[in-house]
């Protein structure tokens, strides 16, 4: 009885730990957090099935396959995204290891509880992502209900299992193979690449969903390497049997083989990775090399940012991002999404001999710079608002440093990141066919765009990055959807046309500088006006006790 209650306690502790995350949780109500997260995952399946009801039963055969493809693709993307987002929770944290390891607990009890909590957590999201579509699609399609329910349930479940399993298997394998220091350094890059692949799969569906008959025509070629097609083949074979399209059987076979490989890798590597994480935590990481900035970098920062308070916040931002893996995951997912959109714009497919071949779009290359700069600035803007370092905020208050000096460091940090991304892009665009004229326009437009985005999106910030409590009701989901779905496409199209227009009329290029000082003056006025009422001591008293030692 004791062992069972211990296992149940650990299981509950580890399961709730997945939701005790400041990146998701906006309040202290755990039930509300769980319901909100599940609702976000479950909503797309219900919405799409509802909007498709007017297309049936006259929907064509390949149109039905396209609909099936979305329901197969969505759980794969959502489950892989959840696994990437919760990567640091796939194993017990440092505090769990330090507190639970000295206790008289058998290692397999703790391992089993964590594995059970992980399976329960992922199963919860897997069920949520498939719950509505499993029954709504058969209802609106007017086909054989129970056969379609069975094919749908098996295919989308296997797709979601593979999405989560692939991320866990890849992470566990690399954790076992690579040295700890190397693994920690490349983990954000791996998360960026994984998010980019998921984003490209979604973009591929949006762009080529209506031409699946061409993409999946025989011989299959490169289509055999697309994971979502594997489970689409499983869906069609379970539904149609021998009358299914020719791609169904080879795709299904590859999907079953991929699930087997992923699960075999997890069974082998997860216990080994667990032991390695435990040993790293208990024994310490003294053998790991810790990065130290050179004297040249310190001198350059001291010269560029002479004000001590601003320089302190500048170092605080960099060290916080390097030290806290939650910020790295968040920024990796933003960067991967932006990179996926940039690749989708720069690349295209041409039909040669009945086969689709990748090619580079010259006009699409013009969208790469504004897209990536937008996602860099917005990603950092969102990350600065995550309250994971609230205990540190009082340090900057007692120094007596001006609030504006502290807050402006976040804009400087974001601007430097944007300019660094711009330089990197210019180096990549030169081999991509851009000449001196095109690079000049890209450079000037990029500098102006960095300033406009930083001043336009960060002008309302009035606190220390990473150290501001959430303000309920301040973050609006409709506002964010409007920003990403409404403003971003118009913004990118406008930037592409402006860049290509300026390439033929360089005389107008200096006119881009005019809005910069105007926006800087306006944003500075708005910041001073919004911060005027925050300069009293009320906020300081709410952050720490003054003990009544101040002068009268």
SS3 sequence of 330-381: HHHHHHHHHHHHHHHHHEEEEEECCEEEEEECHHHHCCHHHHHHHHHHHHHH
Q: How far apart are CA 371 and CA 369, in angstroms?
A: 5
Q: How far apart are CA 329 and CA 24, in angstroms?
A: 12
Whether the CB-CB separation of 136 and 49 falls below 8 Å is answered with yes
Token duo for residue 20: 């005790």
Whether the CB-CB separation of 153 and 134 falls below 8 Å is answered with yes
Residue from 386, 252, 411, 390 nearest 327 by CA: 386
Residues in Cβ contact with 539 at an 8 Å cutoff, skipping those fewer than 6 apart: 397
Q: What is the pLDDT along the chain (552 residues), one digit of tens a residue?
A: 444 577 777 787 777 777 765 544 444 455 666 676 777 777 777 777 777 777 777 778 888 888 888 889 988 998 898 888 877 777 766 677 777 766 776 667 777 788 888 888 888 888 888 877 778 887 777 778 788 888 889 999 999 999 999 998 888 888 888 887 788 888 888 889 999 998 888 888 887 777 788 778 767 777 788 898 999 999 999 988 888 888 888 999 999 999 999 999 988 888 888 777 777 666 654 444 444 456 666 777 777 777 777 777 778 888 888 777 778 888 888 888 888 888 888 877 666 665 666 777 777 888 888 888 888 888 888 777 777 666 666 666 666 666 676 677 788 888 888 899 999 988 888 877 788 888 888 888 888 888 888 876 655 555 677 776 665 544 555 666 666 777 778 888 888 888 888 888 888 888 777 777 776 676 666 666 655 544 544 444 444 444 444 444
Whether the CB-CB separation of 82 and 122 falls below 8 Å is answered with yes
């Amino acid at each position: 009885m004791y062992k069972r209650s211990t296992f149940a306690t650990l299981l509950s502790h580890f399961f709730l730990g997945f939701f005790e995350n400041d990146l998701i949780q906006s309040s202290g109500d755990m039930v509300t957090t769980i319901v909100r997260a599940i609702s976000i995952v479950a909503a797309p399946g219900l919405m799409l099935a509802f909007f498709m009801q007017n297309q049936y039963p006259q929907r064509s055969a390949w149109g039905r396959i396209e609909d099936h493809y979305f329901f197969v693709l969505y759980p794969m993307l959502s489950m892989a995204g959840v696994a990437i987002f919760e990567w640091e929770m796939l194993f017990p944290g440092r505090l769990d290891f330090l507190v639970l390891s000295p206790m008289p607990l058998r290692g397999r009890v703790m391992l089993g509880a964590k594995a059970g909590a992980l399976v329960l957590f992922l199963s919860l999201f897997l069920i949520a992502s498939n719950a509505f579509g499993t029954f709504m699609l058969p209802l609106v399609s007017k086909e054989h209900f129970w056969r379609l329910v069975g094919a749908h349930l098996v295919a989308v479940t296997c797709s979601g299992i593979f999405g989560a399993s692939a991320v866990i298997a890849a992470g566990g394998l690399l954790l076992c193979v690579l040295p700890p220091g190397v693994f920690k350094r490349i983990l954000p890059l791996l998360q960026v690449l994984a998010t980019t692949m998921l984003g490209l799969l979604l973009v591929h569906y949006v762009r080529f969903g209506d031409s699946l008959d061409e993409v999946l025509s025989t011989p299959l070629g490169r289509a055999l390497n697309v994971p979502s097609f594997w489970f689409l083949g499983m869906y069609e074979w379970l539904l149609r049997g021998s009358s299914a399209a020719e791609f169904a059987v080879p795709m299904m076979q590859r999907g079953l083989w991929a699930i087997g490989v992923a699960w075999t890798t997890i069974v082998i590597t997860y216990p080994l990775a667990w032991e390695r994480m435990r040993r790293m935590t208990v024994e310490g990481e003294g053998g790991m090399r810790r990065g130290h900035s050179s004297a040249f970098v310190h001198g350059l920062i001291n010269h560029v940012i002479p004000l001590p308070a601003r320089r302190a916040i500048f170092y605080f931002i960099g060290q916080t991002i390097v030290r806290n893996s939650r910020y790295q995951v968040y920024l990796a997912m933003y960067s991967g999404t932006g990179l996926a959109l940039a690749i989708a714009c720069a690349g295209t497919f041409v039909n040669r001999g009945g086969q689709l071949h990748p090619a580079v779009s010259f006009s699409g290359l013009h969208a790469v710079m504004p897209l990536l700069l937008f996602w860099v600035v917005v990603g950092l803007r969102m990350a600065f608002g995550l309250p994971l370092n609230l205990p540190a905020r009082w340090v900057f208050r007692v120094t007596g440093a001006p609030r504006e000096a502290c807050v402006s460091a976040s804009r400087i940090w974001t601007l430097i990141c944007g300019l660094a991304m711009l330089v990197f892009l210019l180096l990549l665009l030169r081999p991509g066919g851009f000449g001196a004229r095109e690079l000049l326009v890209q450079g000037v437009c990029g500098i102006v765009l960095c300033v406009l985005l930083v001043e336009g999106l960060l002008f309302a910030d009035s606190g220390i990055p990473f150290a501001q409590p959430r303000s309920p009701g301040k973050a609006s989901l409709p506002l964010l959807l409007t920003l990403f779905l409404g403003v971003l496409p118009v913004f990118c199209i406008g930037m592409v046309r402006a860049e290509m227009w300026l390439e033929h009329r360089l005389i107008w290029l200096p006119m881009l500088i005019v809005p910069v000082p105007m926006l800087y003056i306006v944003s500075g006025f708005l910041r001073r006006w919004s911060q005027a009422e925050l300069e009293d001591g009320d906020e300081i008293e709410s952050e720490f006790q003054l003990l009544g030692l101040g002068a009268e």
